[in-house]
Amino acid sequence: MSAVIDDHGHAGHDHHHGPAKGLSRWLLTTNHKDIGSMYLWFSFCAFLLGGSFAMVIRAELFQPGLQIVQPEFFNQMTTMHGLVMVFGAVMPAFVGLANWMIPLMIGAPDMALPRMNNFSFWLLPAAFGLLVSTLFMEGGGPNFGWTFYAPLSTTYAPESVTFFIFAIHLMGISSIMGAINVVATVLNLRAPGMTLMKMPLFVWTWLITAFLLIAVMPVLAGVVTMMLMDIHFGTSFFSAAGGGDPVLFQHVFWFFGHPEVYIMILPAFGAVSSIIPAFSRKPLFGYTSMVYATGAIAFLSFIVWAHHMFVVGIPLVGELFFMYATMLIAVPTGVKVFNWVSTMWRGSLTFEAPMLFAVAFVILFSIGGFSGLMLAIAPADFQYHDTYFVVAHFHYVLVPGAIFGIFASAYYWLPKWTGHMYDETLAKLHFWLSFIGMNLAFFPMHFVGLAGMPRRIPDYNLQFADFNMVSSIGAFMFGATQLLFLFIVIKCIRGGEPAAAKPWDGAEGLEWSVPSPAPYHTFQVPPDMNDVHEHRKGTGGELTP
Amino acid sequence: MNAELPLRKLVLRLVLVVAAMFAFGFALVPIYDVMCQAFGINGKTAGAYEGTQTVDEARQVRVQFLATNAAGMVWTFEPLADQIEVHPGASTEVRFVAYNPSDKPMAAQAVPSVSPSKAAAYFHKTECFCFTQQVLQPGERIEMPVRFIVDRDLPDDVHHLTLAYTLFDITSRQPALAHNGG
């Protein structure tokens, strides 16, 4: 891994502060680009690992009956797939993009707290080492679902649950430090003239995401600490025998969990808001409304958590409140979707790989949003709860939402990172195989879910057999395709057509004003945005007819 | 650098927010209990009730009793009567029977729950074995009383309610017993 990345750090610049040589460069680096690259590689490794867990799940579900794994191991696979994808793949990928791009986008020389940046990255391998090691322990790894509801995760948990708790603590600390770093960078290190309302939307959405992280990751740390105390120190937070309540767990968990789902999507909103204007050759429609919509989504995410718990027995008023509050989120989200579509309207569109992923993002994320609205309807949710309909819903917002957003960002900025253009033909192939595979995998889940197939069960009724086989074939296709992505990225790092400083003719923003590949140190003298008249084009501005 | 000072202040504030949110996570525990008590949600019943009420002879409510053992509990645990009819406001006593078939002394805690949950706030226990822990010697059987009043203000659409107890084995939390039985 390090040998591959090593190339681009040296190439293409003659600055006298080069990176250190060898392994210590990566262990001790405080450079935002190095750390960003490490985050992205870590995230991709976690993506493949979590993906291989998903392949085990889909292989078992290929046919009804138990063929490949035992139910105990199946439960560990669903749990670890969720945990690794959420905390290992999606979140670190966005932190990696933030590290690479935020300083370049706001004209800062580095992140505000570079040493802490190094620490927050290196906590992650430790956290996931702990987490994955539980699979090899006696009694197996976590098997209680990624939502780890008590008492499954306390009274009935495998012995390894303590390692799981410490892993969550470590990745929580890592995320909190990453978030503090983003806030400090954005609020302190903007170039002169880069006012808040001139920032690219990726910076805006990340700033809001960082505040969400700071607000809810400590609550997650609190809930696993309560579990730890219940398991080892005789407290009864979640044990009814000692006066506690298991339902309390769900409230505290989802107080974290719902903002968490926006943590996983808001940065993708920001990236897509840069990519769609670039390939439409038009400024983003409604920049200001995008900022306010993001803020509104973030605020609403704090008051909708109980929509995950409609069936636990909350009072009617509660169900109504959480139902309407949830539906309200469709308003700011709709503003965003309409803005993206309006940006494309009458633009001179071209469909390079970043744009393909971005357009698929808009369409498929909307489908996921609509199934979310269906789930928000409290009386209907009694039917959908814990079925494959829920699985279809959140995979539609996370795979073509978060993951396609990350792919779009990767292709969009790869020329800046590596100094080479990626192979466009292969990238398009990657897109189409991913697009078809992902829809084959997840669309039939809507149908089996509505027909009542429960989630997290290794066997199912014969009536669901055909749809499940289609899902599995789609999942294998999607999974295998990601090896193609690895190949494309490595090929791009090792060579290819040299990239211009601004390889996309419609792209705007400060990151394109530095050479490709981006030198090891950039913006040591901040650019003065007051002198740049054109900067708003890519970052915002109004639509002029 | 003069940029250091505002940065330090900002980071300090953010760290304070993190600490406050960590504390808030724990504050949710009492907040949740207060909410449940205040709105009578989750079927949680209040502690011992001190008052008395006049009896509403015109109205009858059926009260059903359930006794369930939590996982791993070996006691026999059941109500003497499955259900009774009461007048709101009247104080009524019923009994539950518990029997310890094991060969060691054991301690148990019963946790009550009332459904429908909106009736929980109108179900008052003046005396209950769930207020204390029960310790039974090997082979011992006891009758445990519950004295309750169904509130006169019970919503009109509630015609019957269920009082359910779950019995938990808490022997391991009693150092003296755990040692004896060990």
Q: Which residue range is the domain that position B58 belongs to?
A: 43-181
Cβ(A416)–Cβ(A512) below 8 Å: yes
Beta bridge partners of B110: B167
Partners of A222 on chain B (C-beta within 8 Å) are 22, 24-26
Does A5 score more than 50 pLDDT? no
Judgement on whether residues B10 and B87 belong to the same structural domain of the protein: no
Q: Which residue of B has its CA nearest to A186?
A: B7
Q: What is the mean pLDDT of residues A5-18?
A: 48
CATH number of the domain that B55 lies in? 2.60.370.10
Judgement on whether residues B34 and B48 belong to the same structural domain of the protein: no
pLDDT of residue B169: 87
Does A266 score more than 70 pLDDT? yes
Does B83 score more than 80 pLDDT? yes
Q: Say if B169 is an interface residue toward chain A (CB within 8 Å).
A: yes
Judgement on whether residues B156 and B140 belong to the same structural domain of the protein: yes
pLDDT of residue B178: 57
Q: What is the Cα–Cα distance from A81 to A70, expressed in whole angstroms?
A: 16
Judgement on whether residues B105 and B21 belong to the same structural domain of the protein: no
Judgement on whether residues B26 and B88 belong to the same structural domain of the protein: no
Judgement on whether residues B7 and B97 belong to the same structural domain of the protein: no
Q: What is the mean pLDDT of residues A320-332?
A: 96
CATH numbers and ranges of domains, chain A = 31-539 (1.20.210.10)
Q: Which residues of A are catalytic?
A: 81, 110, 146, 174-175, 258, 260, 262, 273, 307-308, 333, 336, 455
Does B152 score more than 90 pLDDT? no
C-alpha distances (whole Å) from A347 to each of A408, A498, A538, A543 are: 19, 27, 14, 11
Q: What is the mean pLDDT of residues A21-25?
A: 84
Q: How many domains is chain B partitioned into structurally?
A: 2
pLDDT of residue B33: 85
pLDDT of residue B42: 66
pTM of the model: 0.86
pLDDT of residue B43: 67
Partners of B24 on chain A (C-beta within 8 Å) are 218-219, 222
Say which DSSP state B142 is in: E
Judgement on whether residues B123 and B145 belong to the same structural domain of the protein: yes
- The torsion angles phi and psi of B107, rounded to 5 degrees, stand at -115, 145
Say which DSSP state B146 is in: E
Two tokens, residue A492: 């791009």
pLDDT of residue A529: 79
Does A497 score more than 80 pLDDT? yes
| Mean pLDDT of the residues in chain B | 85
Judgement on whether residues B29 and B50 belong to the same structural domain of the protein: no
Does A397 score more than 90 pLDDT? yes
Residue of A219, A313, A314 with shortest CB distance to B24: A219
Q: Say if B26 is an interface residue toward chain A (CB within 8 Å).
A: yes
CB contact under 8 A, B42 and A252: no
Compute the nearest-CA separation of B173 from chain A (Å).
8
CB contact under 8 A, A218 and B22: yes
Judgement on whether residues B29 and B63 belong to the same structural domain of the protein: no
Judgement on whether residues B95 and B62 belong to the same structural domain of the protein: yes
Size of interface A-B (CB pairs under 8 A): 92
Does A49 score more than 80 pLDDT? yes
Stretch among A61-75, A162-176, A268-282, B49-63 having the lowest mean pLDDT:
B49-63
Judgement on whether residues B55 and B121 belong to the same structural domain of the protein: yes
Compute the nearest-CA separation of A155 from chain B (Å).
10
Q: What's the complex ipTM?
A: 0.87
Judgement on whether residues B102 and B33 belong to the same structural domain of the protein: no
Q: What is the mean pLDDT of residues B63-79?
A: 89
Q: What is the Cα–Cα distance from A263 to A271, expressed in whole angstroms?
A: 14
Q: What is the mean pLDDT of residues A391-419?
A: 97
